[in-house]
Structure 1
């Protein structure tokens, strides 16, 4: 009875705000008590990629351009763990520990990681985390750390150089995606600042960094420890628009990725009706809070630029409540998934494959009915796809 009462409260909170990991986990537990993967499409399934290992709330699985077999697991509480993919080692070692810097809980924490394209030469990696307290307001931090060598087993937290910080008015909707694009620039996804309904209208406000896709030049210095790419849409504008902005009108773009064509795919978490997948282009306005996907949310508000619709949207009607953006499959083991966008829902645990059909449209198929509480997707060096099970602490691999 107490559990039902707590769950009812969590649902009521979720109705006016993006699902935090805590709320989403409770919903997922209630709606889909069978956590064993079910193969709906009879073509693919997931297996535990590291069966002897458990991680603390994993939110990313990635690799560095370091010439090794290492894979890196981002733990939301503030650690980066490393495992050897070739030997499937029975232990994971701590590569970087910044738990004492990170404000962790709900949607806050260590949320993003990207290795410099020249990491093998310079040892630079970039993280995205929230901090609060100890003299700091609640804010997002984008910072750089330096490994002593490309194959070093540990990084000293004292090597941190902060590039960029921006305030977070609420504890939710922190975005967190951090990735280098094929152009060599660092892309950062930011949420609208939180609460529910974007009360400060940050996503449409181009003087704010919230509710945006940002793009910065980590090799530049015109902003101090970073630069602005010369072709960013608001370079040199006289209206106070932030030059870091690449695209805007996003609610909580938690995870994004690039395909081999250079297209930028974003999973944007909805308010209380619709989740969406966007293919984001420079200068684009993706509608929030005027629209939630294609549905009017505050339709009487005026847009500065034409609104770009999603390539795909889905409703909350079937218990799918919080999108986890994924990757376009470019591996060899699952040829039937070639060039399809693989994504999931954190609450229901469903995994889908989206096939673009032109003119900003796509067809969608269910791959797995329940894979886990999927917080993120990852790829290895040969393009095979992995899923982070946030609640169970597992790294799952997509296989036949």
Structure 2
């Protein structure tokens, strides 16, 4: 499989023996780093199945938490905050019958302070994913205008799982959309290797333009523009369920977790036109076909299904200042097991370090305006890592 190195960071799969077992997979025999503890960042607040944490780049210093059932809550970034207002409520238009459906993603337009635009991804029924634009109310900055929805993109979903749903604006100003393979098990429709649909892919669209009757434009630099039988929205493909992706604010690299089937959980650094292998490969494990990995991009890191490590939650490259020992490391977790790791894939000091076992169902990571890291858990709380002296 082809290896891709993003700007500045060079990836190695042969990590140091005190961090993993030497083949790019995690090792349950290593104890966690004892210098980190969990702290409830907002102890007076509680949320229902929080799945996304975002902060607009404005002067308000607010936090927005997405609840899977269809609401977005907003509150001041203050540990003493005791009231979270309802910013948006689309619960009446959300299908949550299946465990992986609901309101799944939120992103603020780069010019949010001036235009008030924000974007959400949700499932209105069992067979559809929608990406829409809303606008903030002119009367109250802590409320969205409920009738301002403009549907940008609809993706048919053959099954109810593997919806992806993360939204993120890149340094290029375009909106990136994580799309799962359509669900079931083993990608029965081979969607992730099919460029003629939008499943099993990361998409990139220009929300500031329109073209060909769409409510968005296709960036001219998208890798499949002009290619026959290919959707031009596709930026990269070959994913099973890219659950939580983020841009490194320093390098501009796009990182994503990808939830595995039975063998591997993987972390990918996503590049234009890349094929990340599913369902030919699950990580570096041959899953189907003739096991020919020519032209495929292997994971930046992968780990086995050891014990309850079974569902990766992608995180962020830490660029804050409060925890300097984590600077430049990719912080991620496993939803089932609750373990949190720091992946250091720099050339000089490679390694994957277990920070702690939270015993929480960690659904998402996010950062505030100072790039400080938080994570959402299904016990209803928002946490942060604190380094003990």
Band of TM-score, shorter chain = 0.7 to 0.9
Partner of 2:58: 66
Deviations 1:24-76 (A, max 9, x none): xxxxxxxxxxxxxxx92122222111111110100011111231021000000
4+ aligned runs moved over 2 Å, structure 1: 148-151
Partner of 2:86: 94
Relative to structure 1, the CA distance from residue 153 to residue 116 in structure 2 (aligned partners, 3 Å threshold; closer, same or farther) is same
Partner of 2:254: 264
SS in 2 for 1:158: coil
Distance 1:149 1:185 in 2: 25
Say if 2:122 and 2:131, in contact at 8 Å, map to a contact too.
Answer: yes
Flag the structure with higher helix content.
1
- Alignment partner for residue 369 of structure 2, among 371, 377, 381? 381
SS in 2 for 1:262: coil
Distance 1:88 1:279 in 2: 36
Relative to structure 1, the CA distance from residue 151 to residue 118 in structure 2 (aligned partners, 3 Å threshold; closer, same or farther) is farther
Relative to structure 1, the CA distance from residue 302 to residue 208 in structure 2 (aligned partners, 3 Å threshold; closer, same or farther) is farther
Structure 1: gaps of 5 or more residues: 1-38
Q: How does the TM-score come out when normalised to structure 2?
A: 0.88
Between the two proteins, the alignment pairs up a number of residues equal to: 354
Distance 2:157 2:292 in 1: 25
Listed as ranges, the matches of 1:69-88 within 5 Å are 69-86=61-78, 88=80
Partner of 2:123: 130
Partner of 1:23: none
Distance 1:205 1:88 in 2: 49
Deviations 1:189-233 (A, max 9, x none): 000000000000000000010000000000010142101111000
Partner of 1:365: 353
Partner of 2:19: none
Listed as ranges, the matches of 1:173-252 within 5 Å are 173-223=162-212, 224-237=214-227, 239-252=228-241
SS in 2 for 1:121: helix
Deviations 1:348-377 (A, max 9, x none): 000000001349x95200001225110000
Structure 2: gaps of 5 or more residues: 1-30
Listed as ranges, the matches of 1:1-400 within 5 Å are 40-86=32-78, 88-104=80-96, 105-132=98-125, 138-149=127-138, 152-223=141-212, 224-237=214-227, 239-259=228-248, 260-300=250-290, 306-358=295-347, 362-390=350-378, 392-400=379-387
Deviations 1:267-311 (A, max 9, x none): 0000011100011100000000000000000032777x7010001
SS in 2 for 1:253: coil
Say if 2:165 and 2:179, in contact at 8 Å, map to a contact too.
Answer: yes
Deviations 1:244-285 (A, max 9, x none): 000000000010011120111110000011100011100000
140-149 or 107-116, which deviates more: 140-149
Relative to structure 1, the CA distance from residue 117 to residue 318 in structure 2 (aligned partners, 3 Å threshold; closer, same or farther) is same
SS in 1 for 2:114: helix
Deviations 1:106-161 (A, max 9, x none): 000000000000000000000000111xxxx6100000001134961211221100
Say if 2:39 and 2:386, in contact at 8 Å, map to a contact too.
Answer: yes
Say if 1:354 and 1:365, in contact at 8 Å, map to a contact too.
Answer: yes
Say if 1:265 and 1:277, in contact at 8 Å, map to a contact too.
Answer: yes
The RMSD of aligned alpha carbons is 1.7
